[in-house]
Chain A
Amino acid sequence: DQQVKQNSPSLSVQEGRISILNCDYTNSMFDYFLWYKKYPAEGPTFLISISSIKDKNEDGRFTVFLNKSAKHLSLHIVPSQPGDSAVYFCAARGRNNFNKFYFGSGTKLNVKP
């Protein structure tokens, strides 16, 4: 029973355009959300996070939006660059257990030059 879902296994975007990666969750107890980026043969690396008290967090080219009523978050990358090509994982943590993180299955982003 996956509590965090990334329904698009892959996404292809032209360099310079916007990449939008989506994530849905089912547990209303989740209060902290993260995005990780993973290159082949490497572990995931932290990208950006958002607390449930916010609906937007921005860091350079990366912005995460949170819609609590829809239990949906998205990661926007603008402008997309070829080096952004990687697998992106969405993760969530609940207020009832700060140590346990639930991950989505990932979306593979390909940014074409």
Chain B
Amino acid sequence: GAGVSQSPSNKVTEKGKDVELRCDPISGHTALYWYRQSLGQGLEFLIYFQGNSAPDKSGLPSDRFSAERTGGSVSTLTIQRTQQEDSAVYLCASSPGQGVSYNEQFFGPGTRLTVL
């Protein structure tokens, strides 16, 4: 079946503009994660959604970052007033949220964001 998809694959924007990154998780997966990977760094946790529960936003680096998950499926990560330090690969992952593999994360290919 289809895996996690993300769009766009690449995004170049100017400093100060807003950007939206989209994630389509695997159908039926109740958990969804956003991470970012800056150059030479590991994956940095940003936010976690599980079903209808309140999201875990503890990893969002500033109030310029927000995320939504509509209808328990598609998620959008929004970065307002982008800064050059926001340049990174943004990765989305989903997991079943139940069963033996409840926590196993399936990653999308990522969106490479470049802020000029």
Which A residues contact B (CB, under 8 angstroms)?
2, 4, 6, 9, 32, 36, 41-46, 89, 91, 93, 97-106
Contact of A43 among B40, B41, B109 (CB under 8 A): B109
Residues of A within 8 A of B109 (CB): 41-43
A99→B56 CA distance, assembly (Å): 8
Q: Are B35 and A103 in contact (CB under 8 A)?
A: yes
Task: Give the shortest distance, in Å, between B65 (CB) and chain A (any CB).
Answer: 16
Q: Give the interface size class of chain B.
A: 20 to 34
Question: How many CB-defined contacts (below 8 Å) exist between A and B?
Answer: 56
A5's nearest neighbour on chain B, judged by CB, is B42
A28→B85 CA distance, assembly (Å): 31
User: Per-residue 0/1 for B1-39: is the Cβ within 8 Å of any A Cβ (1 yes, 0 no)?
Assistant: 000100000000000000000000000000101010000
Q: Are B105 and A99 in contact (CB under 8 A)?
A: no
User: Per-residue 0/1 for B36-62: is the Cβ within 8 Å of any A Cβ (1 yes, 0 no)?
Assistant: 000011111100101000001011000
Task: Give the shortest distance, in Å, between B54 (CB) and chain A (any CB).
Answer: 12
B4's nearest neighbour on chain A, judged by CB, is A43
Q: Are B105 and A103 in contact (CB under 8 A)?
A: no
Residues of A within 8 A of B96 (CB): none
Residues of B within 8 A of A104 (CB): 42
User: Per-residue 0/1 for B87-116: is the Cβ within 8 Å of any A Cβ (1 yes, 0 no)?
Assistant: 000010100000000011111111000000
User: Given that A43-B108, A46-B104 are contacting pairs, would A103 and B48 also be in contact in the complex, using a CB cutoff of 8 Å?
Assistant: no
A2→B103 CA distance, assembly (Å): 22
